[in-house]
Amino acid sequence: MRVNRRTVTELGAKADPFRDEIRVDGKLVRVPRQSTTLAFHKPLGVVTTMRDPEGRPCVGDLVASLGVRVYPVGRLDYASSGLLILTNDGELAARLMHPRYGVEREYLVKVRGAPEESALGRLARGVALGGKRRAKAEATVIRRAGEKAWLRLILREGRTHEVRRLCAAVGLAVEKLRRVRVGPLKLGTLPRGAWRALTRAELQALRKAVGLPSNEHGSPC
């Protein structure tokens, strides 16, 4: 996470301990911090940003009443819904997004087309996307309805439009996409547009999944 550095000469200046490095007479001031990590159910038609210069509905609008700064971990595109983690814990966010830690993302996907076993096998073996990079997904058919089907896809990377691009590569067009799990954290019955603080057990499980120690100072908002 970027650290801000500026000289303050007036009274009443404010600092964000999660983004600002605070020094007095050149000496670093250690500021006790409490991290906040939330599960948020992003609805369709909402941009995964805290502000949108084009005036579209965004995540920041829906959590404006929170009273603490948090930031989305990764993205869900405008036409997708589901679980989005919001946090001001920079190390946790960075590790959740880094492919080295292989954090699973689980999606329920409605596709147009009849998925053959050969297509599911291609997804499991890996499909070339963006040149030489190969992306993989564990794919299971949940339900078929004529020329459409619901799939469960599990990925270990969260690149932009990854699910849609993978499906397109094997001849399937995505009609609906909802993320239902990130690592050990599940969307569950959280309503669309709502957020909730993680329980202590959920937070510790999430930290463990990316190799971080228990954070006794972390707390819900």
Q: Looking at the annotation, which residues are catalytic?
A: 77
Angle subtended at Cα 207 by Cα 204 and Cα 208, rounded to the nearest 5 degrees: 85
Contact yes or no for 94/73 (Cβ under 8 A): no
Question: How far apart, in Å, are the Cα atoms of 120 and each of 44, 76, 151?
Answer: 27, 23, 10
Contact yes or no for 103/209 (Cβ under 8 A): yes
Q: Which is nearest to 111 in space by CA: 165, 159, 44?
A: 165
Query: Alpha-carbon distance 189 to 175, whole Å?
Result: 22
DSSP 166: H
- β-pair type (81-87, 173-182): parallel
Contacts with 182 (C-beta within 8 Å, 6 or more apart), sequence order: 73, 83, 85, 96, 103, 104, 105, 106, 206
